[in-house]
Structure 1
């Protein structure tokens, strides 16, 4: 049964089981099993515009994120079914222990509410599309970092080089 007491279809039950296994395998860091939930792995991270497509690219994404957050895990809040997808609202948690796109480890933990759309064609998972508020995560990761360092660190995350001169000097 769904939360609204309507019975799930057989297809919804299969999709839900696959998504729950996918989440559990990610937390266990059994990435071969996670990759096995897709015929062709494909992630879209909407806030950053990143797309990770194919086994090698997705495997690198897993390696990079677990290097930064070795204890990354999920707490599922709600799971809903749509015509072509399973939508999961969850907390993502972790501790920043390794580099993240130029941001050195801060040792800070984060807890960020997210939504993931697991898009299906029939019972085949074709895409995981993730939405979250980057500022919520950054605010927690950068807590305690000296203010004079924050701009350079955020610029690195955004792929922008740190300014080498003060704005007043650049205008002269």
Structure 2
């Protein structure tokens, strides 16, 4: 009677890297979060060989140093006190997945939405994706924009005419982005091969 053949090795998507690799990824992501809160953009950008953000709710990509710095600038004009409260870290074969609360006070323009002075606390997820050389290549962010908008509107005093005017401007600003064309890099996806 012959011996049964050895099981083939599992596909890469089922195999986690060594603990040391996972710890190094986690440290890099924690440093990235810390440096964002400090507004230390040079240190934050140093966590990538080539900075690349994908904002899925808006279907927008910020690629390269200049675009990412612009994203940092614009988001901190809108929310100068932006901060994070970490909820959970998870590891996958090629990513660190972070659930967190994003917090901030709306003090400046958010795209075409004028400042409301309202605070928001929004639960979201970010995928920090690593390549085969353990370089951070993408931060992919998922959040519900309506949750943010509802909180920004909730802080407007609708009993005053000035509050009603502010609400109209906020809604006009929000609606002006509704027709924005999505970045094609986020539309052209490839179905994963689950047969191996």
CA distance in 2, matches of 1:17, 1:125: 12
CA distance in 2, matches of 1:130, 1:144: 25
Distance verdict in 2 for CA 1:144–1:91, change over 3 Å: closer
How many residues get paired?
155
Q: CA deviation at 1:148?
A: 6.7
Match of residue 50, structure 1, among 60, 65, 71: 60
- Structure (1 or 2) with the larger CA radius of gyration: 2
* TM-score where L is the length of structure 2: 0.74
CA distance in 2, matches of 1:154, 1:43: 26
CA distance in 2, matches of 1:22, 1:144: 30
Match of residue 138, structure 1, among 140, 146, 149: 149
CA distance in 2, matches of 1:35, 1:139: 31
* TM-score where L is the length of structure 1: 0.84
- The residue that corresponds to 1:31 in the other structure is 41
CA distance in 2, matches of 1:160, 1:118: 26
**Conserved in 1, the CA contact under 8 Å of 2:98 and 2:125?**
yes
**Conserved in 1, the CA contact under 8 Å of 2:113 and 2:169?**
no
CA distance in 2, matches of 1:107, 1:148: 14
Post-superposition, which runs of at least 4 consecutive aligned residues in structure 1 deviate over 6 A?
A: none
Matched, 1:73 2:83: yes
Q: What is the alpha-carbon root mean square deviation over aligned residues?
A: 1.9
Which of the two has greater strand per residue?
Answer: 1
**Conserved in 1, the CA contact under 8 Å of 2:114 and 2:169?**
no
Q: Which runs of 5+ in 1 are unaligned?
A: 1-7, 162-172
